[in-house]
Structure 1
Amino acid sequence: MHDVVIVGAGPVGLFLACELGLAGCSVVVLEREPEPGSPWRAEPLGMRGLFATSLQAFHRRGMLHPLKTASGVQDEPGVDLDADGPPPIRGGVGHFAGMVLDPADVDLAALPYRLPSPAPDFMASNLAAIESVLSERAAKLGVEIRRGVTVSGITQDDEGVLVRAGEDEYAARWGVGCDGGRSVVRRLAGFEFAGTEPRFTGYTMLVTLAEAERLRPGINLTPTGMYIRMPTEGHVGVLDFDGGAFDRSRQPTRDHLQTVLRRVSGTDVTLSEVHLASSFTDRAMQATTYRQGRVLLAGDAAHVHSPLGGQGLNTGLGDALNLGWKLAATVHGHGPNGLLDTYTRERHPVGAQVLDWTRAQAMAMLPDPHGQALQGVIRDLLGTRDGTTYVFGRLSGSSIRHDLGDEQPLVGHNAPDFRLTDGTCVGDLMQDGRGVVLDFSTDHRLREAATGRQSRLRYAAGAAKNDLGLGAVLVRPDGIVAWAADRDFGAEEFERAADRWFGPAGT
């Protein structure tokens, strides 16, 4: 029997498998597709945007450089990791409802926990590159990946789960569905999936255009929808506000795609040939809970929405990062009571916010007077530093704060990349998957308290380049700050926080 069976070998399932493998769990991943490669996962159709929190996660597990290499991204020259003050935006800031943000309009002073980091704010990659890096990592950690496996049944009891695929059965103590928006695990395990119906059908296609110059490059909002002419020749995206009428189960024909593109773009462009094409909608649905007994959901299996703003992959990776260490602690028996229940409690609100974020963008793009009026208001807001900074915070993930019941402003946020005077940073300390205790006090007063949990916590003491006025910080394995104190703190405060998240010393 394995500790965990994961259904789905996309980025979310593989990242979760790596987290569990790093913590010493036995893991098997079941994937329906027989081979990892597909035109839909490679460049250009498989291109995705990774924002700051996701890139920091790869950095903190030692996978940022391999990811850049696999994605064809060069390391940035001249990044000053010891610079004073918040660093400049690196990599771009994205868009809201097709309205591109200007990095120069982001008020860095309004981002109090922003410190220099090797991880940029944005990086374009493709699913094939991401999955190749994670698959290689998973293999090194002893994770078993079985491809060409179609799940047909799931049962569970108080001891574990049994996943059936044809005549084969896979037994594990826990099961996790990371198998996408049409999740078989979600359906078989009886999760409730609720939300709103679509307003548009979107299309992504790789085509040969007879009159490519008739389509303006980049993102183009029109009176009837939106179209995007990508940098790669023949790569086009379209949003058609038809109420989500085109069924994804049908393959769009050349005539249909040409009719939609002509109507939305207002041109008589001709599609000479369609090489690949697919459709999607802005249907926004979410599982009411991410856990049913010993079965959990992560990524698109837990929440589906339109790709507007590029939040889907990043939210899913956040799910995997949050769940991984909690499930591992539960498997090994040292997780505090109720630890696994905090997964839904913390990540469900984040998923709900993302669904609303994409719904708001769809409304602002409606090709009617109401949508145009709303779009005008948003353009005015994005013309201000406060407006742009707010949207950047949402897109980058820097504004996400989990409610951990602590009023200290940093608690619940993704940890800044504190850098000690010897050059060691938080990202360097987190590569083994343990939590981190940063003790900035001159008497190293947390050393003894942290030593009793050294299998789960890594202790680092010393002055920091910028300690943000703090005396000590406790960072969970997922990079979330669990406790922070000013310079006049007592060790008993730390003990209470450490007991809550990592269990008593010596357990």
Structure 2
Amino acid sequence: MHDAVIVGAGPVGLFLACELGLAGCSVLVLEREPEPGSRWRAAPLGMRGLSVTAVEAFYRRGMLPSLLAASGVHDAPDGNEPSGPRAVGHFAGMVLDPAKVDVDALSYRLPSPVLEVMMTSLEAVESVLSERAAELGVEIRRGVTVCAVEQDEDGVIVRTGEQEYAARWAVGCDGGRSAVRGLAGFDFVGTEPQFTGYTMLVGIADPEKLSPGFNLTPAGMYIRMPAEGHIGMMDFDGGTFDRTQQPSREHLQAVLRRVSGADVTLTDVRLVSTFTDRAMQATTYRRDRVLLAGDAAHIHSPLGGQGLNTGIGDAVNLGWKLAAVARGQAPDGLLDTYTRERHPVGAWVLDWTLAQSVAMRPDAHGQAVQGVIRDLLDTRDGTTYVYGKISGSSLAYDLGGEHPLVGRNAPDFQLADGTRLGGLMQDGRSVVLDFSTDQRLRGSATGRESRLHYVAGRAKDDLGLGAVLVRPDGIVAWAGDRGFDRKGIPAAFRYLAWSEVSSGHCHVG
């Protein structure tokens, strides 16, 4: 019996598998597609933007160099000097100006070798994660379709045709049309669409008639991407286009002409896919021994590029918790904090994309909202607020701590000897940084049963803290102005560290 069966070998399923494999769990990944990669996952159609929190997830597991290389990125910061964002995304097609982001207003920031926004492809992300999963002993079986999910108090049976796989836990990471979600009986609720969106690679006889970048028009929005013939468009048809059929060249040309207002001519269609702004979310991310992550848990329009980033956030949050429970290091109830922490994030993403749909509507109401938003984005406060949201910089879980850093993403603290927090997190353990002493002490329990690193020593910039406890997902579980202290640590996370620090199981010296 495996510790976990993960259904879906996309970025979310693979990242989760790596997290579990890193903790020594037995993991099986089942994937419907027979082979990895496709034209939809490679550039240009597979291009995606990773937010700072998603890039940090790769950095903290030692995968950032491989991801940068696979993505062709050669201008990452060295992490020694503060740097502001160079590209910050858009809201409803209204592109944010990086110069208007007030970096000083973003609290608890430290220099880091992590790009604020990074362009990559699904192919690059999946290749890096697949390689790491193989190194960690994760088994991936492709070309199998899940047809049944059954569970009892002891485990889960996942069936694919005549084959069945037993595990203690199962996780559906199998996309917006998740088989696991339906088979396990999750409720999926939300709103119906206002538009049909199109992503296509086409031949254009007169591309000069289309303006580059994001273009909001009285009839919707179109995007002319840098790659030749790569076009995105949103047509406010109420989502009525029959997405079971492949759109013809004539249909795509008519929609593009209507949305752009330009008499443009398409010569051929090489690839095309449709989507809507339908926004749906599972009411819970856990039903006993079955859990959901990524698009299986929440779907929405791709406006703002939040889907991949939210999914990686789900995997990072769930991974260490499921590993701790599977290995008997934490009570089963720890898994309930996954829904409690990530469901509000998913709900926010749905609201965020719906708000953008409203601002893009080709009617007087939409135009009025758009005007207000443009005025807000013309201010430093407005741009900084939106950037904080879409970058994940303002993410905060309610962990009940008194210090304002508790529940937030940990800054990349750097000790006097050059050691960075990110480097200490590569093996997936929690980290205690104790800045209250000049002694450079370090320790960790031996073997895979260890749950933390304890590191004492002065930091180049401790942000006024005496000590900080960082969870394996990079979230601050406790922070104080003096040395490490059990007081104030939420009960659900005390098992992470205190017993090892206080009992000597953490060998310091």
Q: TM-score, normalised by structure 2?
A: 0.95
Quick one: structure 1 residues 275 and 374, their matched pair in 2 at CA, closer, same or farther if it must change by over 3 Å?
same
User: Once the two structures are superposed, what CA deviation does each residue of 1:15-70 show, in whole Å capped at 9, x if it has no partner?
Assistant: 00000000000000000000102100000000000010000010000111100111
Match of 1:411 among 396, 406, 409: 406
Partner residue, 1:378 = 373
Quick one: structure 1 residues 352 and 479, their matched pair in 2 at CA, closer, same or farther if it must change by over 3 Å?
same
Work out whether 1:433 is the aligned partner of 2:428: yes
User: 1:331 offset after TM fit, Å?
Assistant: 0.3
User: 1:449 offset after TM fit, Å?
Assistant: 11
* SS of alignment partner, residue 296 of structure 1: strand
User: 1:12 offset after TM fit, Å?
Assistant: 0.2
- Equivalent residues in 2 for 1:287-366, closer than 5 Å: 287-336=282-331, 338-366=333-361
Partner residue, 2:256 = 261
Quick one: structure 1 residues 440 and 250, their matched pair in 2 at CA, closer, same or farther if it must change by over 3 Å?
same
Distance 1:220 1:92 in 2: 18
Q: Which runs of 5+ in 1 are unaligned?
A: none
Question: Identity of counterpart residues, as a percentage?
Answer: 73
Instruction: Give the RMSD, CA atoms, in angstroms.
Output: 2.0
Q: Which range moves more in the overlay, 39-48 or 454-463? A: 454-463
User: Once the two structures are superposed, what CA deviation does each residue of 1:62-83 show, in whole Å capped at 9, x if it has no partner?
Assistant: 111100111111143xx45333
Partner residue, 1:56 = 56
Kept in 2, the 8 Å contact 1:52–1:397? The answer is yes
Work out whether 1:460 is the aligned partner of 2:455: yes
Q: Which runs of 5+ in 2 are unaligned?
A: none
Distance 2:242 2:7 in 1: 25
AA matched with 2:34: P
Matched residues, number:
501
User: Once the two structures are superposed, what CA deviation does each residue of 1:314-348 show, in whole Å capped at 9, x if it has no partner?
Assistant: 00000000000000000011114521110000000
Distance 2:484 2:416 in 1: 23
Partner residue, 1:220 = 215
* SS of alignment partner, residue 486 of structure 2: helix
User: 1:274 offset after TM fit, Å?
Assistant: 0.1
Partner residue, 1:33 = 33
Quick one: structure 1 residues 494 and 452, their matched pair in 2 at CA, closer, same or farther if it must change by over 3 Å?
farther
User: 1:247 offset after TM fit, Å?
Assistant: 2.9
User: Once the two structures are superposed, what CA deviation does each residue of 1:76-119 show, in whole Å capped at 9, x if it has no partner?
Assistant: 3xx45333xxx222441000000000111001110121111111
User: 1:443 offset after TM fit, Å?
Assistant: 6.4
Q: TM-score, normalised by structure 1?
A: 0.95
Quick one: structure 1 residues 253 and 336, their matched pair in 2 at CA, closer, same or farther if it must change by over 3 Å?
same
Quick one: structure 1 residues 102 and 337, their matched pair in 2 at CA, closer, same or farther if it must change by over 3 Å?
same
Distance 1:338 1:498 in 2: 9
Partner residue, 1:154 = 149
Distance 1:462 1:106 in 2: 33
AA matched with 1:184: A
Match of 1:117 among 103, 112, 116: 112
Match of 2:494 among 485, 492, 500: 500
Kept in 2, the 8 Å contact 1:452–1:505? The answer is no
AA matched with 2:280: M
Distance 1:501 1:243 in 2: 50
- Equivalent residues in 2 for 1:104-183, closer than 5 Å: 104-183=99-178
Q: Which range moves more in the overlay, 21-30 or 332-341? A: 332-341
User: Once the two structures are superposed, what CA deviation does each residue of 1:130-185 show, in whole Å capped at 9, x if it has no partner?
Assistant: 00000000000000000000111110000110010011111100000000000000
Distance 1:105 1:144 in 2: 46
Distance 2:409 2:495 in 1: 16
Partner residue, 2:393 = 398
User: 1:496 offset after TM fit, Å?
Assistant: 6.5
Quick one: structure 1 residues 484 and 452, their matched pair in 2 at CA, closer, same or farther if it must change by over 3 Å?
farther
Kept in 1, the 8 Å contact 2:32–2:143? The answer is yes
Partner residue, 2:68 = 68
Kept in 2, the 8 Å contact 1:336–1:503? The answer is no
